[in-house]
Amino acid sequence: MIYAMSDIHGCIGELQKNMEQVDLGGDNRIVFCGDYIDYGDSSYYVLKYLWDLQKKYGAEKVVVLKGNHEQMFLDWIEDYRNIYSDGTEDCRTFNDWICTDFEYGANTISTFISEQQMDFLNQIARTCSMETISREAVRMILSNHEKLIWWIQQMPLYFETKSQIFVHAGVDEEAGEYWMWGASDNTLLGKFPATKGKFYKKIIAGHVGTCSRDLAADRSYHDVYYDGESHYYIDGSVYKGGKLLLLAYDEEKEKYYQVENGRMDIINPFDVRFGLD
């Protein structure tokens, strides 16, 4: 069995609940398809949980892929790490990420630092620029979690089997069997809109909520989306009140299931499942 989850977005309780339904015995394994941080209130704890899980079972049984939110976080850290390493301020000052985090109450940063450190950031935020806040925050995070940050940097961008590609957002399907050679990080991490239709391998991805206009076009839909051809999308918009989806692939039966509350329901194409034309 191959399990898969994506877009956990700081929701540690939902992750732990799903993992109670995962059996990693025998040849079973699980693939996490990125976006572990931001929005929810437990970003660090989600990463630490996955890191510990991988250390326990090994990287072959627990595959942890990078998402675009991890990459934005790393880009922000790298910009301000450069300031400390060379003493200059000549960098891109990647402030989009931290500005968004502060809009959500610093939900991500606050989980990587102590309450005392967060109080200090809030204090200087009254009078200092976002660049100054970023420099201090990066210094704190690297001091507290340098090994964890290194682990995030090493996360692969995709995982391939004989019949599947697990990825955060998608691949360049126009390249066919040569998708790997021309794959850009932007495509693997941020492809939009979601692709539907026939491809020579099954694509299991997150990134785009299954309720979105490009998929189910139904704000109440938070289940796995299967296009009936080659694409399974598993972002259930958990941080918006949806679900943290758990997909399971039975390698012997070659069947895909959605696992929920101890049940394994076969995943049918969206239009068949809902009787649409």
**Average pLDDT for residues 13-33, to the nearest whole number?**
98
Is the confidence at residue 273, as pLDDT, over 70?
no
**Average pLDDT for residues 57-70, to the nearest whole number?**
98
What pLDDT does residue 275 have?
43
Is the confidence at residue 21, as pLDDT, over 80?
yes
**Average pLDDT for residues 175-200, to the nearest whole number?**
93
What pLDDT does residue 102 have?
86
What pLDDT does residue 85 have?
58
Tens of pLDDT, residue by residue over 161-171, are 999 999 999 99
What pLDDT does residue 24 have?
98
Could you give the C-alpha distances from 249 to 13, 71, 199, 226, 254, in angstroms and in order? Answer: 23, 28, 18, 13, 7
Tens of pLDDT, residue by residue over 127-173, are 988 888 999 999 999 999 999 999 999 999 999 999 999 999 999 99
Percent above pLDDT 90 for the chain: 82
Could you give the C-alpha distances from 69 to 72, 97, 176, 189, 247, in angstroms and in order? Answer: 5, 8, 27, 9, 21
Structure tokens at 110: 């606050």
User: What is the number of residues in the chain?
Assistant: 277
* Whole-structure pTM value: 0.93
Is the confidence at residue 241, as pLDDT, over 70?
yes
What pLDDT does residue 65 have?
99
Mean pLDDT of the chain: 92
What pLDDT does residue 63 have?
99
Domains of the chain (ranges; CATH) run 2-67+155-273 (3.60.21.10), 70-153 (no CATH)
Is the confidence at residue 276, as pLDDT, over 50?
no
What pLDDT does residue 197 have?
96
**Average pLDDT for residues 246-257, to the nearest whole number?**
98
Tens of pLDDT, residue by residue over 72-129, are 999 999 988 776 555 555 445 567 888 889 888 899 999 999 999 999 999 998 998 8
Burial of 47 (0-12, 13-18, 19+ CB in 10 A): buried
